[in-house]
Structure 1
Amino acid sequence: MQQGGNAERQAGRRTILKAAGASLAVAGLGATATACGGGSGSGDGTVTIRYSWWGAEDRAERINKTIALFEKKYPKIKVKTDFQPYTDFWKKFNTQASGGNPPDVFQNAIGFLRKYDAKNVLLDLSGQVDAGNLSMDGFRAGLEKFGEIDGKLLGVPVGSNSMALVIDKPVYTRAGVKPEQGWTWDDFDEAMTKIRDRTGRAGDSGMYGVMYLYDLYLRQNGKAFFTEDGLGFTEADLTTWWTKAEKGVKSGLFADAKKVAQIKPKSALSAELAGSEFTWDNFTVRYTSEGKSEYGLAPIPTTDGKRTGQYLGSLMLSGYKRTEHPKEVAQFIDFMVHDPEVAKIMGYDRGVPTTQAQYDAYRPTDPVNKAIAAYEESLVEAGVLEQITPHPNGADICEAAFLRIAEEMALGSRSVEEAVEQFFTESKTALAG
């Protein structure tokens, strides 16, 4: 979840790295660990837990401030930190998990829960809830259920986001397009045409590789990207989706993929190659930083004028199953998701705060973050939010393949037929593991 972990692979400048969770630097490496999760103790009863996440340097600065608050409240618990760029984080985590030495507590995403649960890496936090060390009360919009898998609490949501259409507001105004809740894919197609014809710009940056958008489209039509144990759609379904995307590029409705690749890490929207782009709502900060225009959040198009298929995604905090300090891990997570001062420090860096107490504690004053809060509130008011589809073991590999193969198709190195066949081949292998 990126929830979160997903769009997080779409590299951008430092500002999106702040929101998405990648980093250009590695710092604060954790201390040498013991065999069981790296927790350590001392003669005076002080214990040390290791905490790892993916994120940029400004995220690290914020997190270190929250850790200082935590250690002040819990003077007998010390926290050693480690952060990496997104891809490097998971490479390192895989190595640590294989060696029986992952961090005691770490940032996590929905696509990895079943994977690491199957490998006996994740701590079921339910026992710590029962013991009173972790509260799952006070979460917004059903987010307390987000990290539950097969009756086990494997992650606690720390920041929510949802898919949105980020638009260049002046471009949409010049084109005479005003997206509203309940607009349809036909309305969207018409909008893309108006933007191209009236402004000389592609309507969208190219939606073919956004797995979580395709998931919403499938959910609108009674399916889903994933079932609990595999893919929830057919080769024919994906062929239809990617064929429409290919036609959009050829007709100029979607941005030229070669030009999009050339201007990376800048986005096609902020580089003025396109009038809009589907991504996570809390990424809006990226466009304001990169571009010269004014950007806004528009609703997801629908199939029937009602159902968007949306849910609140979230980054999570998880614990290591064999940590020597499960109580302290639970107390740490509890503090990070409930303490109001943490919200004031973190802001919307990891998404909108998941608990009502933290949501109320941080009320943004800048236009961009105010718009993010308003957007998520509008989803709640519209009643469109649903529960996320469970992700099977191997979902992270499927997501990476979807993004890579879609780009290859967009660049012309694969036909739609070849791209679909390759994706299903790779996915079947990943999901069989």
Structure 2
Amino acid sequence: MGTGTNVERRTVLKAAGVSAVTLGLAATACGGNGGTSADGTVTIRYSWWGAEERAKKINQSIALFEKKYPKIKVKTDFQTYQSFWEKFQTQAAGGNPPDVFQNAVGFLRKYDRRGILLDLNSQVKAGNLSLDHFRAGVTKVGEVDGKQLGVPVGSNTMALVIDKKVFEKAGVDPATGWTWDDYFKALKTIHDKTKVPGDTGYFAIMYLYDLYLRQNGKAFFTEDGLGFDKSDLTEWWTDGYGRVKAGIVTDPKVVAQDQPKSSLSAGHGASEFTWDNFTVRYSAEGSSTYGLAPIPTMNGKDTGQYLASLMLSASAHTAHPKEAAQFIDFMVHDPAVGQIMGYDRGILASTEQYAAFKPTDTVSKEIAQYEDTTAKSGVLGTITPHPSGADTVEAAFLRIGGDLGQGKTKVTDAVKQFFTESEAAFQA
């Protein structure tokens, strides 16, 4: 979701971040939501999280927008993931969020409940924004209770990234339809033959656990809380902790020491569950050959997968809803923007941009092929609803799972703590 925040928080987005000054970008002012100059020029504010490369691409895209709309100027601000949401929380509390900002599914209900998000359906009706020409099902990610609170810029789905050389050395060939039993046997085989842990820590990844639950007729979230009970989580975390102790899963202490690099690209694990578009980071960080493998299943078919998305939202407090909508429309539909952004934020969501960008590198081609194959297989479902407080719950799942893996807490205590913190998050 692009939109996936637990993996982003642990890996890519925490690792990066330079100031807007470094890139020559205009810093976002804290006072006032944009303005209108004497000649009728409107200024809107746009904020996002990400790394330097994303910022450069977005800056290039904004230049194209301002050329097409000379009466709209865009002030920009970007941060690392954690810093972005800390700053946004302060801005939202003060009634001064950016006019347009990058968003993810875990934050929609939270900020809609606080009256921060603009229902973009009004701008669709006014002709300032189009929800046509998107890849099937993608726009649903931004819908909450009939309101369009975000428009996707890219889509992704959970995948298993593997170190191909280690898998080949161990004689393991992941195949479509393999089961969890097959996967865990593969992890042991890899460890026994190569002395490399088979996985970097699957049990602390909320979005992976969501897939596992969906395969078993449940889900991580309902619209107002958790969709599983303590016995479910006890089984999941007991299983994961047991594999850490056996050396089959990377010691979380090693994972922490490897940051901001992934333990997969550091050579301390042979596979890692993450969003498919994150695959590019492993080739950049590591010295091996990396690829995508299918999600394990319970029955050989149903993976529980769905399309997630990073998206653009607008502030309900903006003084310039028309201009904000025109900016979003340009950024999600313009083919030239698609060529610039590529798969930085996932597989391009609109058909115009998807058709305009032709990946040339091997990794991007494999990402596109993986998502296309997954879509054609008929396994993709609808994303699980995320209640208000989901972002806090996700952070707790990652943190407590990590503590468990390091032996800082027992399974029973970890489960109790997670449910206590989740309940508080939903009521906040």
Pair in the same fold by TM > 0.5: yes
Task: Write the distance in 1 (CA, Å) between the matches of 2:166 and 2:357.
Answer: 32
Judging changes above 3 Å, is the alpha-carbon distance between structure 1 residues 22 and 311 closer, same or farther for their aligned structure 2 residues? Answer: farther
1:214 matched to which residue of 2?
209
SS state at 1:311 partner: coil
Q: What is the correspondence of 1:47-126 to structure 2 with a 5 Å cutoff?
A: 47-126=42-121
Q: Is the 8 A contact 2:389 2:425 kept in 1?
A: yes
1:362 aligns with 2:346: no
Q: What is the correspondence of 1:133-282 to structure 2 with a 5 Å cutoff?
A: 133-282=128-277
Q: Is the 8 A contact 1:29 1:83 kept in 2?
A: no
Structure 1 counterpart of 2:297, one-letter code? T
Cα offsets for 1:218-272 (capped at 9, x unmatched)? 0010100000000000000000000000111111211122222222222111111
1:45 matched to which residue of 2?
40
1:141 CA displacement:
2.6
1:285 CA displacement:
1.4
2:309 matched to which residue of 1?
314
Task: Write the distance in 2 (CA, Å) between the matches of 1:58 and 1:172.
Answer: 31
Equivalent of residue 130 in structure 1, options 113, 125, 131: 125
1:4 matched to which residue of 2?
4
SS state at 1:208 partner: helix
Task: Write the distance in 2 (CA, Å) between the matches of 1:422 and 1:265.
Answer: 27
Equivalent of residue 29 in structure 2, options 32, 37, 45: 32
Q: Which moved more, 1:186-195 or 1:251-260?
A: 251-260
1:2 CA displacement:
4.8
1:52 CA displacement:
0.4
Task: Write the distance in 2 (CA, Å) between the matches of 1:175 and 1:31.
Answer: 52
Structure 1 counterpart of 2:267, one-letter code? E
Q: What is the correspondence of 1:376-391 to structure 2 with a 5 Å cutoff?
A: 376-391=371-386
Task: Write the distance in 2 (CA, Å) between the matches of 1:84 and 1:261.
Answer: 22
Gaps of 5+ in 2: none
1:432 CA displacement:
1.3
Cα offsets for 1:93-134 (capped at 9, x unmatched)? 111111111100000000000000000000000011111111
Gaps of 5+ in 1: none
Cα offsets for 1:31-61 (capped at 9, x unmatched)? 43664xx120012111010000011111111
* Equivalenced residues, count: 424
Task: Write the distance in 2 (CA, Å) between the matches of 1:274 and 1:395.
Answer: 29
Structure 2 counterpart of 1:9, one-letter code? R
Task: Write the distance in 1 (CA, Å) between the matches of 2:416 and 2:180.
Answer: 26
Task: Write the distance in 1 (CA, Å) between the matches of 2:16 and 2:92.
Answer: 22
1:5 CA displacement:
2.3
Q: Is the 8 A contact 1:8 1:22 kept in 2?
A: no
- Normalised to the residue count of structure 1, the TM-score between the two structures is 0.96
Structure 2 counterpart of 1:209, one-letter code? A
Q: Percent identity?
A: 64
1:412 CA displacement:
0.6
Q: Is the 8 A contact 2:2 2:156 kept in 1?
A: no
Q: Is the 8 A contact 1:22 1:55 kept in 2?
A: no
Q: What is the correspondence of 1:343-362 to structure 2 with a 5 Å cutoff?
A: 343-362=338-357
Q: Which runs of 4+ in 1 moved over 4 A?
A: none
SS state at 1:239 partner: helix
Task: Write the distance in 1 (CA, Å) between the matches of 2:392 and 2:370.
Answer: 30
Task: Write the distance in 1 (CA, Å) between the matches of 2:336 and 2:15.
Answer: 24
1:198 CA displacement:
1.6
Structure 2 counterpart of 1:374, one-letter code? Q
Q: Is the 8 A contact 2:97 2:317 kept in 1?
A: no
Task: Write the distance in 1 (CA, Å) between the matches of 2:112 and 2:166.
Answer: 46
Q: Which moved more, 1:295-304 or 1:173-182?
A: 173-182
Q: Is the 8 A contact 1:281 1:297 kept in 2?
A: yes
SS state at 1:146 partner: helix
Judging changes above 3 Å, is the alpha-carbon distance between structure 1 residues 388 and 22 closer, same or farther for their aligned structure 2 residues? Answer: farther
Provide the aligned C-alpha RMSD in A.
1.3
Cα offsets for 1:127-161 (capped at 9, x unmatched)? 11111111101111310211000000000001111
- Normalised to the residue count of structure 2, the TM-score between the two structures is 0.97
